[in-house]
Every structure is written in structure tokens, then in C-alpha cells.
A and B are shown apart, each in its own frame.
Chain A
Amino acid sequence: MTKTIVKQEKTQIEKIEKSSFFKETMQRMVKGAGAKVGVALLAVIVISCLLADYIAPFSPTEMDFTALFAKPNARHIFGTDGMGRDIFSRILYGGRYSLALGLSASLLGTAVGIIIGSIAGYFGKKVETVIMRVMDIWSSIPTLLLSILIATALGEGFFNTILALAVGEVPVCVRLIRGQILKERCKEYLEAAESINCPKAVIMFQHLLPNVISPVIVHMTMGIGSTITMAATLSYIGLGVKPPTPEWGALLSDARAHILNYPHLIMFPGFVIALTVLAINLIGDGLRDALDPKLRS
């Protein structure tokens, strides 16, 4: 009898321990309405883009020379561009590239920034000084110009564009994280963790990071949207992905010359970008609320 009770208690304890930090965060996140909407919206967009082969009525490169600059109608629900290509199909296929570009570049830049920033903020003194000076050099060259220089040097292409876009993110994240850590560094729980000989890596990533990560997450979610728009600027200068890739930014810059007479060319891609950025931001807000240690009870 006692054995079963102990066993039951044990399994219950195991169950509680197995519930990890990640799971908890996810559970808390989806409780908020905003995050629910964000996840749903992003899911719709991502799935539509992944299923573009089945949903899109036309191929993104198919040109119909009898229907150039067609306004939205029954056949082309978002209209066509100057070469007779269906905008709706191009948006669906283009989503794959844009989402991948935005996410990869932001994640890459932020991840590198978080690691470097945590090291700088936690270890302080010489390490911090050296890292911050390197970051100063890095960020002294304006982001767009650095992206243009790197894109010019590397040439066009998908992966080169990701690199060119990611470089701008790193010093900003480093500064943000370090600023937050400066605030947190004097708090007692860190002293407590150090006094029990907790490994430095554990202190940094398990105790310190969750408390300082909120502004970085907010910044990253904003960053994905601006990365997609920066890709549009690079496309305009001619350094982004190569045609006929229907990346959303390329759609925007193609539409630039025709804004006055054919606003539908810029309206629909712009609208889709706005929706995507909105969804990502809602998710980011939800994540921030979920990660806030004050709310955890």
C-alpha cells in the first residue's frame, strides 16, 4: 500500500519536473488572446505560402500579355503586374522567400548578439570593454550602408542577402542585452547563484537571460518586419534576390514606378507584409508577457 502511494507521488513529482521551461512558456503564452490571434494569423500565412503549389491559380512566372496591369478581377483576384503575372500567386510563392529571409536574418543577428552581449554584460571589466569597443566599430558604419557594401562585395543571392541583412542586427542586440544586464547585475539572486558555485553558463542562460530578454524579443519581432522592408530597399538598389524571385520586397520595388496609376501593385504586397508583421508582433508581445518572471506564480 505504502509502496503504491510513494510510487504515485514519485510519478507526480516526475511529471511536475518534466514540465520544462519551454512548455510552461508556451502554455502561458497561448492563454493571452493577442498571442492566439497572432499565432493563428501567422499560421494561415505560413501554411498558405507552403501550400502555394496547390492554392496559387497561376505560376508566379507565367506572363499573360493580354492582361498587363489588370486591376483586381474575377480571374486575377489581386490583379496583374506589368508583365501580366498574377499578383496573388506571386505573393503566395514570394512568402516563402520573404519569411525565410526575415526570420533567418533576424534570428541569426539576434542569436549572435545575445551570446556576445551576455558574455560582455556578465563578465564585465576587460571582456566587456573589448567587446563593446568591437561593437562600436561594428555599429559605427550605418546599417543600410553596411548591408549595401556587403551585398556589393558578395554579390546577389539568397544566402548573401541573409548575411547582409543580419550584420546590422548584432551590435544593437549586444547593446540592448548589456544595458539590461548592467541593471540586473547587482541583484541578489545572482550573488546567491554564484555563492553556490553554479556554473557560469548556467547562471548566464538560465537565471540571468530570462530576466533580461524581454526588450530583445520585442526588438527582434520589430526587426523581422524591418528586415523584410530592408530587403525591399536592397532589391530597389538591385542587390537583393535575383529576378524572377517573387520576394515581397522585390514586388514592392517593382511597383514603385507605377504607384500613381496602378496602386494595387503596391497595396496587396504591402498589406500582406503588414499582416505578417502584425502577427509576429502579437506573438512577440505574448512571448514577452509569458516570459515576464513577475507574472509567473
Chain B
Amino acid sequence: MAEYILKRCLALIIIVFATAFIIFTILYFTPGDPARALLGASASDAEVAAMNEALGVNRPYLVQLGDFFYDTFIRFDFGESWVYGRPVYEELAARLPRTVLIGLSAMVLNLFFGLLLGIFAGTHGSKWQDSLTMAIAMVFISCPDFWVALMMIVLFSLKLGWLPPYGIGGPEYYIMPIICASLGGIAVNARQTRSSILEVYREDYITTARSKGQRESVVVRRHMLPNALMPIITTIGTGFSRIVAGSAVIETVFSIPGVGTYMLSAINGRDYPAVRASVLFFAVFTCIVMLVVDLMYAFVDPRIKAQYSRVRRAKVQ
């Protein structure tokens, strides 16, 4: 097991290098240049050319790639954002907590309510509870997130005056963004859970457990849930990436200066240092989440754990 984890950590380093290379190349071949974005439409062509030269974007591909890798991985200098005028890591450090707060809270809500609704629907399969729950889930998936956000703002901010319409500050500023960010995920998790539970429902060992006189709740908790958990864990793992990506829309509507809006404005402004650094941060984050997910596979399903140990034992022999 420990060997496996070590291997994955080494792999993480390779992944980071590869992601850095991919991101650099995509940006290099994207049309447009930073100087025009910085100076605006009224600057003359000569002024734009001069600034591009000063920023170093006219140098050959390999030179720029080498510089980037040297700065990032050897000097750990992520560069200064051309748009924000301060080191990238400073800006990210300020913004990351807000995005992570919304993301993690939304994930917790997704997990909790998704499992709850999914189990409720799955164990009542084909009855009205199942249909009703899935119908509600359907509705939430179909509504565009900015529409739900604006409707909530009209209700809670305008009509009732309970919550502020946008901005950051105390916890009351984050309530609506977290709810909006989690709605879609709850529905997806509920559906996935229900579908897994329904599959497991028909397995022989469930019938056996019931025929032994087990209480239904114990059957659900001890027999159904662990076996149904695999796809659910996968969905949660990918849900993190989904929430981070979806944060761009939520952050725009609620005007929360998080990493989503930072990346959007960095891409628009061709702020190469900022885009590269933020994507790398996410790469590392996501890889760690994936590693945790894979480890949970082994934790939840003893057969997989055995596979890894079997491999080890076989090698030793």
C-alpha cells in the first residue's frame, strides 16, 4: 500500500510537468497578444509592439518554455501578473480561500443531500417517492445556474432583504453562492446514488440478508451502501473539478473575487503568468483529490485492496 502511494506521488510530479507543458503550448498558439489587451484599442501599433517586446513574448518557443520551467520549478517564482501588477501567488493566495470555501461547502452539501435523496429514491424504487425525487432532481439540473442565482437574489435580497445581493464579507455573503453552486451537484449525486442502489438492490446477498431477518436500515447501511459506493466516489471526485469550473459563473453573478474570475480575466487579458500558475495550482489540487479517490476505492472495496496486496506478495515471492 505504501509503495503504491509513493508511486502515485512520483507520478504527481510527472503530471505537474506535463500539465505545465500542455498549458504553455496551448497559450503559445492561442491567437492574440498581451500588450494589445493591456494598452487597449486606442494605443498605436508601435506602442503595442514595444510592449510585447518588453514582456518577452516575441522570443522563440523553446527559450520561453525554458524560462518558464526554470522560473517555476527551480526558482519557485510564479511570476508577476501583467494585469494585476503583483506576484501571481499573492493574488491567488488571497482568492483561493473564497473559491475553496464555496467549493468545499457545496461538495459537502452535494454529498449529504445527494446521498440522502438517492438512498430515499433507490430504496423506494418504482414507487411515487422515487419518481417525485427524481423529478425534483431533474428540475434542478435543467435550470441554468445564473437564472437560479438571480431568482434567489430577487427573492432574498430584494423582496425579503435578508441577504446582500453580491460581494464578500461575513458569512451572509456566501450563503446564496454556496446553495446555487451545490444544486446541480445534489441532483447529479442523487441520481448516481439511486442508480447504484437500484443495481445493488437486486443482488442475491441483499435478499439473503433480508431473509435472515435483518432490519432494513442495517441492510441499507451495511450491505447496500458500501457496494453502491464506487461510482458515487468517482462522481464526488470529479465533482470537485466541476464545482471549480462552475465557480466562474457563480463568482461573476455574485461578484466574488475568486480563482474562477481570476482565470477568466487572465485568459481574456492574455496574462500568461497568471493563467499558467493558476492552472498548475489546480493541477496539483486535482491530482491530490484523485489520489484520495483512488485510495478510497481500495478502502471501500476489500477486493481491490487485496489486489494491491496480492501484487506485492507475488512480487516478494
Contacts and interface: CB of A to CB of B under 8 A. Distances in A.
- Contact between chain A and chain B defined by CB under 8 Å: yes
Interface stretch (A9-17, A79-87, A91-99, A176-184): A176-184
A279 to B, nearest CB: 10
B136 to A, nearest CB: 12
Contact of A153 (B30, B233, B301): B30
B234 A278 contact: no
A180 B234 CA distance: 10
Contacts of B249: 233, 236
Given A143-B245, A149-B26, A137 B279 contact: no
A259 B263 contact: no
Contacts of A145: 245, 248, 263, 267, 279, 282
Contact of A186 (B147, B154, B287, B303): B303
A109 interface: no
Contacts of A252: 144, 147
A277 interface: yes
A112 interface: no
B200 to A, nearest CB: 10
Interface stretch (B11-19, B38-46, B64-72, B171-179): B11-19
Contact of A214 (B141, B195, B284): B195
A292 interface: yes
B312 interface: no
Interface string B7-47: 00001001100110011001101110000000000000000
B317 to A, nearest CB: 17
Interface string B239-279: 00110111011000000000000011001000000000001
Interface in A119-151: 133, 136-137, 139-145, 148-150
Given A144-B248, A145-B245, A183-B230, A277 B195 contact: no
A140 B287 contact: yes
Contact of A139 (B23, B31, B203, B241): B241
Q: What is the predominant secondary structure among interface residues of chain B facing chain A?
A: helix
Q: What is the predominant secondary structure among interface residues of chain A facing chain B?
A: helix
Contacts of A137: 15, 18-19, 22, 283
Contact of B234 (A176, A226, A233, A281): A176
Nearest to B252: A236
A172 interface: yes
Contacts of B244: 142
A225 interface: yes
B202 interface: yes
A59 to B, nearest CB: 26
Report the interface size class on chain B. 35 or more
B93 interface: no
Interface in A12-35: none
Contacts of B304: 182-183
A171 to B, nearest CB: 8
A182 B304 CA distance: 7
Contacts of B143: 270, 274
B146 interface: yes
A252 B129 CA distance: 32
Contact of A180 (B23, B31, B231, B248): B231
A215 B196 contact: yes
Nearest to A149: B26
A149 B192 contact: no
Contact of A133 (B15, B154, B234): B15
Interface string A262-274: 0000100010011
A153 B144 contact: no
A152 B267 contact: yes
Interface in A213-250: 214-215, 218-219, 222, 225-226, 229, 232-233, 236-237
Contacts of A229: 144-145
B286 interface: yes
A256 interface: yes
Contacts of A192: none
Contacts of A218: 191-192, 195
Contacts of B316: none
Interface of A: 133, 136-137, 139-145, 148-150, 152-153, 155, 172, 175-176, 179-180, 182-183, 186, 214-215, 218-219, 222, 225-226, 229, 232-233, 236-237, 252, 256, 259-260, 266, 270, 273-274, 277-278, 281, 288, 292, 294-295
26 contacts: A137-B283, A140-B282, A140-B290, A141-B22, A142-B242, A142-B244, A143-B241, A143-B245, A144-B245, A144-B246, A144-B248, A145-B263, A149-B27, A152-B30, A172-B234, A175-B237, A179-B231, A179-B233, A182-B301, A182-B304, A182-B307, A215-B231, A229-B144, A256-B146, A259-B150, A274-B138
